[in-house]
Amino acid sequence: MRVDIEARRDKILRIIINTYIVTGNPVSSRMICKQYRLDLCPASVRNVMADLEERGYITHMHTSAGRVPTDKGYRFYVDKLVEHSGLTPQERVTIDKEYLEKRRALEEVIHKTSGILSNFTNYIGMVSQPALERSRFKRIQFTQLSRHLVCVTLVTNAGITKSSVIGFNLSIDADNLQRIESFLNSQLEDTPLTQVKIKLNKLLIQERNAFFHVLKQAIDLIDLSALIEDRMRFSLEGVSNVLSFPEFEDSQMVRSLMRVIDEKLSLAELVQEVIESEPAQRKVKVFIGEENPGVASMSGCAAILIGYQVEGEIVGALGIIGPKRMDYGKSIATVQYVAGILSNVLSEFSL
């Protein structure tokens, strides 16, 4: 009997949320009885809805006779009730074709991906740049500009490229630069960037070469300030999509969302939570309303994020931001599929 009651309650809640997602209008017991074939009389539906409201899953909107989901209701829906239909074969083919065009730069791929997410969901598409501190050393290249100036270019396995010009008092010739470059690449290949300085210091002690101070200067490319700044880098597309939803007719909500986008702090916290998850938890994360960091700014929104990988290591996150009244099933499927494609594309950068 208890199972039957819970199943009935879940069914009514699913109907309410699915209907509200499509229409944006409060859902009444009369509407449910009229549009769905249920083995329940209107009085029974009203009783179930009263129970759902008492439990905090739905609530009134003003004086309307209908009900709308609460954050708690959306959370239960996402965790227990949402139907994961996945993408159709044609939708997958369409996304695949977007990545067939050859792109030379990491930034192009990231920007393209945020656009794909936005176009396929009609929400804001968001992709973080790969985090330096979660990347590995691929190669370093020295280009001599003069006897005292060298351009240092660092490339990671995720395709991140950082360049800087360094100067030093002692002159250095091309042969020595080439020797140092080859030595570094052989010793540091595939080393996590967080371990490069430690390994470099050991090499400096071992080699005791007059020119090896160049290595220490070069490796300062990977400093703490750069890593912190890197966490704040995102590609965002489709802000106008979200602003067209009725929920964002409230100017205060629009200002709050734009502040989140401009400041990026809340977005950075979302990304960090995703990429720092334990391996067993590395799956889609759905943040709803006040579950979002920066409660006041994102309380009217939902965000769906997942980590993307390079060589099996999560280095960044991608996803969508939209109103809480979103198509969670299709959005989750889109985010999952695009993350898999992006992971494959970025892994090619490491070859």
In whole angstroms, give the CA distance from residue 28 to residue 50: 11
Q: What is the CATH number of domain 89-131+232-349?
A: 3.30.450.40
For the segment 109-117, the average pLDDT, to the nearest whole number, is 94
pTM: 0.79
Pick the residue with more confidence: 260 or 281?
260
Q: Is the pLDDT of residue 299 over 70?
A: yes
Q: Is the pLDDT of residue 254 over 90?
A: no
pLDDT reported for residue 76: 96
Cα 47 to Cα 25, 28, 39, 232, distances in angstroms: 20, 12, 14, 48
Q: pLDDT tens-digit profile of 114-171?
A: 999 999 999 999 999 887 777 788 888 888 888 778 888 888 887 777 777 777 666 7
Q: What is the CA radius of gyration of the chain?
A: 26
Q: Is the pLDDT of residue 326 over 90?
A: yes
Q: Which of 59-63, 68-72, 75-79, 229-233 has the lowest mean pLDDT?
A: 229-233
Q: Is the pLDDT of residue 112 over 90?
A: yes
Q: pLDDT tens-digit profile of 81-102?
A: 998 878 999 999 999 998 887 6
pLDDT reported for residue 228: 43
Q: Which of 110-119, 215-224, 267-276 has the lowest mean pLDDT?
A: 215-224
pLDDT reported for residue 224: 41
Pick the residue with more confidence: 272 or 227?
272
CATH number for the 133-228 domain, one of 3.30.390.60, 3.20.20.140, 3.30.365.10, 1.10.3720.10? 3.30.390.60
pLDDT reported for residue 18: 95
Proportion of the chain above pLDDT 70, given as a percent? 84
**Where does residue 34 fall: left (phi above 0), alpha (psi -120 to 50 degrees), or beta otherwise?**
alpha
Residues 315/135, Cβ–Cβ less than 8 Å: yes
Q: Which of 8-22, 32-46, 54-68, 274-288 has the lowest mean pLDDT?
A: 274-288
Q: Around 198, how many Cα atoms within 13 Å sit in the side-chain half-sphere?
A: 5
Question: Domain segments of the chain: what residues?
Answer: 2-81, 89-131+232-349, 133-228
pLDDT reported for residue 225: 44
Residues 118/331, Cβ–Cβ less than 8 Å: no
pLDDT reported for residue 143: 85
- Within 10 Å of residue 160's Cβ, how many Cβ atoms? 22
Q: Please, which residues have CB within 8 angstroms of residue 286's CB and are 6 or more apart in sequence?
A: 78, 302, 303, 304, 328, 332
Highest mean pLDDT (candidates 8-12, 147-151, 204-208): 8-12
In whole angstroms, give the CA distance from residue 9 to residue 15: 10
Domain 2-81 class in CATH: mainly alpha
> What's the pLDDT band for 294 if we cut at 50, 70, 90?
low
Q: Judge whether 2-81 and 133-228 match in fold.
A: no
Query: And the tokens for 158?
Result: 């995720």
pLDDT reported for residue 47: 92
Mean pLDDT, all residues of the chain = 82
